[in-house]
Structures are given as C-alpha cells and as structure tokens.
Amino acid sequence: MPQVNPEILIWARETAGLAREDAAKKLDIRAAYGVDAVERLAALEVGTDEPTRPLLVKMAKQYRRPLLTFYLSKPPRKGDRGADFRTLPVEYSAADDAILDALIRDIRARQNMVRAVLEDEDEAEPLRFIGSHEISDGWQVVIASLRSLLNVRRNDYYTQPDTRGAFDLLRTAVEEAGIFVLLKGNLGTHHTEINTEIFRGFSIADEIAPFIVINEYDATSAWSFTLLHELVHLILGQTGISSTGTENEIERFCDDVAGRFLLPDSEMQELALQSTSNISNLAERICEFARVRNLSRTMVAYRAYRTNKISRTTYGRLSNQFRRQWLNNRNNRRERQRRAGGGGDFYVIRRHRIGNGLMILVSRMMVAGALPTTKAATVLGIKPHQVQSLLELG
C-alpha cells in the first residue's frame, strides 16, 4: 500500500473544520498503550505512525474526501469559488469554510458533467447574455435586459398564491433561458446547514451550462431576490459567491437591480412611511406591503432605504427584527415537523431543490443513452437507486 503524506491528513482534517479532539471522536480512535486518542491522531499527522486502510476509509467519510485523496503527494489547491463578494460576520469559522468548500466542489462537479454532456450531444449553444453587460452600463440597461430575457410580468408575480409560487414562476423563466437553478444549503444533512450570512447564493457564469445555487435555508420569500441577484452576476459575467452582506459596489449593484426588478420606483410610491418613525408601525406597514406582493420584508425595507424613505439605521433595525422573527418562526416550524415525525415526501422535496431544468435535461439524456444512471445520480445529487423513482415522479 502506498505511503500517506502526513500533510494530507492535516489538510483533510482542517478543511473539514475539525479540531483534533473532534476528529478523534468522529474517527472512533481510542486510547491504547497509555496514549490517548488525540495523541494517537497527532502521531499519524506528524508521520510517526502510519494509518491503516480501514482508518483511511473512516477519514474519507468523516472528512468528506474521496479515498484516493489520501494517496496524493501533496494537498490539492483550494476549490475555485470564483470571486468572493461577501461581507463576512465576525464569528466566521474554519468549519464554515470547510462546509462551503465541499458544497462548491459538489456544484462544480455537477456543472462540469452537465457541460460535458451538452458538448458531447452537440447541444452546446453559447448563451449570449452571459457576460453581456458591465456595471458601467447602469442599472437601467441591465434591468431592461433582464425583463427582455425573462418576460415575467410583475402583476403575474404579485398575484401568485404565495411566495413559493412566485419564486417558481420566476425560476421557470430563468430555467427556460438556459440556466440551471438549484436550491442547496448543506452537504446532505442538517448538521452541515450553512448560514445565509456565510452563503446565500452562488453563480457559475458559464456560457454553455450556467448555474445558480440558492441557499434553501433562507426565507422562501427571499429566494426570488437571491435568484435575480445571482442572475445579475451572470449577466455581468461573474462567477462567485454572495452572502447577506452588501458592503461593496458589485453587491449593491446586484441588489439594486434585483430590487428594482421586483419592486420598481413607481410601485414604491404606494408605500407610505414618512408619517411615522415608530419601528413597530414601520414594520407593520412594510410587512403588509410585502405580503400582498409576495416579496421579502427585508427587501422592501432595503428598497425603502435606497429610495430615502427610511434611514440606514432604521433599515438595519428593521432588518434585524425581521430576521429574528423569521428565525423564531422557522425554529417553531421545525419543532412541529420533528414532533409530527417528518418533513414531507423525499422525492417531492428533492425535485423542487433540483429544479425542472436539470430534471428535464437528465431525463432526456438518459433516454438518449448519453447519461448512465451513475452519472445521472451525480448530476442530480442523489444515490443511483433513487434516480428512477425521482424521474418517474415527474
């Protein structure tokens, strides 16, 4: 068996966001011959001891790395996130970084496979709107391109039965334009859930197979705004990751275009806020205004701030209040689901996360014999034995 470079063991553990104490527990390393578990792991990582293959198999699982990774001569380079547009919170940790990198590796692998199958089947038609504009073109030009590309009428969006229906309407238009839209916010378990302050959206500005990924753990009402925000990144030709922070020019531009698309200045005139400075009253008016239009309360507050209806400080207070309320409601909902013994049908939920664009492509390519079940499972982010049941649901 080839020797394992100890550097790989350290790199794999650290990029999994695990301290030695945590890793020793997860790997079920136990004290032996007067040496405690942490010291035994340390001995492996400095090369004093050699890991057994069964232990490497455990490491591959717990560190979320292919087994072959441990036989590389040196640690691989960090996964390509593209541009990092985020303003990160103070409490950002190595564990957050590790989970995010793993998620992006997964998305990159899926996107590469989609592009490859499109090229193999001579369906690689470049999408001309990818990278078609620059910030210097101005928001008016970019928003006009967005409206032409999507052809979604604002009234149709507002009159959907709920925020999820409104998002589905918008998502369908984006997918019909040739973009694959996924909802994903973890690595397969709720223990790896990524906070929206770390990751809200991710875009891959590929002309053949562009991807947009939205953190499914964000408020449903915020999905549409994030989708449009990431779509602006694609129009600007930018691959990268976004969070809830908007402390740079690019993020503000994308937020402003997305906000104006959903809520133009003419519609904002109907939101009367000047007659009160009471936070509770402001919140109540914004909530009702957002509710009847299937909009995010925070987005409406942001538009109010950007149109000088409220101050930056007031926007910050409202945003924090809305987030606290949403987190409380979400936690209560999860507790009710836990007590009820489930969270919905697996295949229905999975289809919605994957999106019709990717589902239709995979189904068509499998029928054509261009995509075997194992690769279809990778593209869909599921296990091979689940592919047929998932496709039959549609």
Q: Which tens digits make up the pLDDT trace of 272-318?
A: 887 777 999 999 999 999 999 999 999 999 999 999 999 999 999 99
Smallest CA-to-CA distance from 218 within 315, 304, 299, 326 is with 326
Smallest CA-to-CA distance from 123 within 353, 377, 368 is with 368
What's the pLDDT score for residue 77?
A: 61
Q: Is the pTM of this model over 0.85?
A: no
What's the pLDDT score for residue 105?
A: 85
pLDDT tens, residue by residue, 215-224: 999 999 999 9
What's the pLDDT score for residue 17?
A: 72
What's the pLDDT score for residue 191?
A: 74
How far is Cα 87 from Cα 172, in angstroms, rounded to an integer? 30
Beta bridge partners of 204: 211
What's the pLDDT score for residue 288?
A: 96
Q: What is the dihedral of CA 335, 336, 341, 345, to 10 degrees?
A: -110
How far is Cα 355 from Cα 114, in angstroms, rounded to an integer? 14
What's the pLDDT score for residue 1?
A: 47
Tokens of 366: 């499998």
Task: Point out the residues of the chain with pLDDT beneath 50.
Answer: 1
Give the number of other CB atoms < 10 A from CB of residue 328: 10
Q: Please list the helix, strand and coil fractions of the chain in percent, rounded to the nearest 5, in that order.
A: 60, 5, 35
